[in-house]
Amino acid sequence: MDYLWSPWRYRYVAQKEPRRDCVFCTKAQQSTDQENLVLHRGLKNYVLLNLYPYTNGHLMIAPYAHVGELGALEDAAWREMADLTRKAEQALQKAYQPEGINLGMNLGKSAGAGIADHIHMHVLPRWHADANFVSVVGETRVLPESLADSYSRLKPYF
Ligand SMILES: [Zn+2]
């Protein structure tokens, strides 16, 4: 089956109105996927690389709908988010062969959410002792791979 994507139309069919001041809404509506590090578009959610990764290959899955809690997400979107989380796990396994994977969500600012009013699932590969000295002491991450290289590495698996 072929899909013709028209994300600019999504505002007319979305469950919740996209917001111009929300990075997840903005990226979902733009057509420049590679520039925005969008790896895959489902029907209700999309997969993108985190611009501020904790590790190389740090993925996020966000719904197109602007919702801040799981209960506000329609059932089909929640099910697809679970499916894409599994797909992300498999993509990371193939692309990076990590020793472990973290996945999870921060709901609300107090839980650590950078963008609290648009839910998103984090999926990131982990290696033994990957939180290195510079990260712990300097609040700085040392990442051996550029985002463009991460994108190229993961794209074939979506
Ligand atoms: Zn949003």
pLDDT at 103: 94
Strand partners, 125: 101
Q: pLDDT by residue (tens digit) across 57-82? A: 999 999 999 999 999 999 999 999 99
The full set of domains in the chain, from first to last, is 7-157 (3.30.428.10)
> If you write DSSP's letter for every residue of 40-101 in order, what string do you get?
EE-SSEEEEE-SS-SSTT-EEEEESS--SSGGGS-HHHHHHHHHHHHHHHHHHHHHH--SEE
What's the whole-model pTM score? 0.82
* Cα–ligand 1 centroid distance for 118 (angstroms): 5
* Cα–ligand 1 centroid distance for 13 (angstroms): 14
Q: Say how far apart CA 157 and CA 49 lie, in whole Å.
A: 13
**Which residues are annotated as catalytic?**
120
* Cα–ligand 1 centroid distance for 156 (angstroms): 27
pLDDT at 8: 56
pLDDT at 109: 87
Count CA atoms within 13 Å of residue 13 on its CB side: 9
Per-residue pLDDT tens, the chain, 158 aa: give them: 666 666 655 544 445 778 888 999 999 999 899 999 999 999 999 999 999 998 899 999 999 999 999 999 999 999 999 999 999 999 999 999 999 999 999 998 888 888 889 999 999 999 887 766 666 566 677 777 899 999 999 999 99
* Cα–ligand 1 centroid distance for 115 (angstroms): 9
Instruction: Note the Cα 9 to chain centre separation in Å.
Output: 21
